[in-house]
Structure 1
Amino acid sequence: MTFSGFTHTDFDVFKINGLDERMEALITHIRPKLEGLGHYFAPILSLETEDEIFPHVAKHARRTINPPQDTWVAFASSRRGYKMLPHFQIGLWETHVFIWFALIYEAPNKEIFGKELEANINKIYKQTPKNFVWSVDHTKPEASVHGNLSKEELRSMFVRLQKVKKAEILCGLHLSKEDAILMTPENFLEQAESVFKTLLTLYKLA
């Protein structure tokens, strides 16, 4: 299964009203691409992380009323699931594509990871590319650009991860819809692989 690149049609899926209608379009247009990305990146990430990595395409199975506003493929070291584990994601909202590392609220070791992040803050602050973004909530499209953050603002995210039960931390790259559509499939795969390589430091800390 190959990845053919993103198009206007993929992003327009999120304008469709109604759960069943949007899910039908999502399954038709976006899911095959996410499955293609899953097959492509799982072996690459397995080599990079030295863990066996499995792809998990979002099914949105628990939804009964609200149609999904975003969708993704996640990569984690368990065949059974990813939410409890440090993982990577590629996905899209109506406005952009995200490629990132994530530790979300279900993960049991967040406090330990938060302390690791805080202990390594100088290195993380210096080495994270300025155009990368940080998020503390995977359910919202907004994120903070690394180049605009002070070290103390970043530290407060890491401390929050240690102390707040529902806290999350995500870091990676946002590509605008326009940029993602203009990219050839090869360009996109190269870009995503480069982002994942940069994020390996966070994965290994976790």
Structure 2
Amino acid sequence: MNNVQWTTEDFQVFLINGLDERMEALTQIIRPKFQTLGEVFSAYFSANTGDEFFPHIAKHARRTVNPPKDSWVAFAPYKRGYKSLPHFQIGLWESHLFIVLAIIYEAPEKGEMAERLLAHLDAFDELSENFVISGDHMSPSAVPLDEARHEQLNQLLVRLRDVKKGEFLVGRHIPAEEAIKLSSDEFMRLAEETFDNLLPIYHHMIGK
């Protein structure tokens, strides 16, 4: 069964006080959905990139006091981790669902990837106006792509290239109140459509 339907309860997990309490709710309520998505979309990326992809569900293992404010499943062509590579994610904040392609500061080749994207800014013109970009994976905020072309987009990519902590995310944010209205089929179609649109940008990132 590939059914994943989001509920108000999923998003309210991030309102639960206490690290242990919130982690228990994440494990029981959200992680089974991430496991399903992990199976479905690791197969999708393997089929559509020619590389074997693996799912990575956030463990939040380093946390000792503060409970996580978001959680996700990531997809990358490396079994032992994803942070050093460009990767795809499906995840939740209390306010919204996100479906994104990300390069975060741990990626050792992010400068080269930024250069490739700067050389292919026109690829972003193929994305619809409801896509967003961000320079910080730790923040729930993002800028609508149609407001960011091309100056702010260029600035984020230059920062990704030149600043050690520079990051870049592009994808879709779906407000929680909209996400819970989607049927399982509607959500899975939306996720696949989003990834279909992001794959050309991913291929530019990796120089393929």
Regarding TM over 0.5, the answer is yes
What's the CA shift for 1:202? 1.6
Q: Is the 8 A contact 2:120 2:204 kept in 1?
A: no
Could you tell me whether the CA contact under 8 Å between 1:60 and 1:68 is conserved in 2? yes
Name the residue aligned to 1:168: 167
**Structure 1 letter corresponding to 2:84:** M
Q: Which residue of 1 aligns with 2:18?
A: 18
TM-score, normalised via structure 1 length: 0.97
The aligned residue for residue 38 of structure 2 is 38
Indicate yes or no: 2:126 matched with 1:116.
no
Q: Give SS of 1:182's match.
A: coil
1:134 touches 1:171 (CA, 8 Å); kept in 2? yes
Counterpart residue identity of residue 138, structure 1 = H
Distance 1:34 1:198 in 2: 21
What does the per-residue CA deviation read over 1:129-184, in whole Å, with 9 as the maximum and x for residues that have no partner?
11100010000000000011131221111111110001010000001101110001
What is the RMSD of the two structures over their aligned residues, measured on CA atoms? 0.9
Partner of 2:70: 70
CA deviations over 1:80-119 (Å, ceiling 9, x no partner): 0000011100000001000010111100111111111111
Give runs of aligned pairs for residues 1-16 of structure 1, distance below 5 A: 2-16=2-16
Structure 2 CA distance, aligned partners of 1:3 and 1:15? 25
Separation of aligned partners in 1, 2:100 and 2:175: 14
> Separation in 2 of the partners of 1:37 and 1:4?
8
Residue in structure 1 matched with residue 200 of structure 2 by the alignment: 201
Q: Secondary structure at the match of 2:92?
A: strand
Shift of 1:21: 0.4
Separation in 2, partners of 1:50, 1:147:
31
Matches within 5 A, 1:45-194: 45-121=45-121, 123-194=122-193
- Aligned partners of 1:36, 1:145: CA distance in 2, in Å? 29
The residue type paired with residue 5 of structure 1 is: Q
Preserved CA contact (<8 Å) 1:125 1:151: no
Q: Which runs of 5+ in 1 are unaligned?
A: none
1:120 CA drift (Å): 1.0
> 1:199 is matched by which residue type in structure 2?
L
Q: Aligned-pair distance for 1:34?
A: 0.5
Q: Distance in 2 between matches of 1:199 and 1:150?
A: 16
- After superposition, the C-alpha distances for 1:19-71 in whole angstroms (9 at most, x for unaligned) are 00000111010000011100111111111111100000001011000000000
Percent sequence identity is 50
Matched letter for residue 42 of structure 1: S
CA distance in 1, matches of 2:124, 2:10: 34
Partner SS state of residue 85, structure 1 = coil
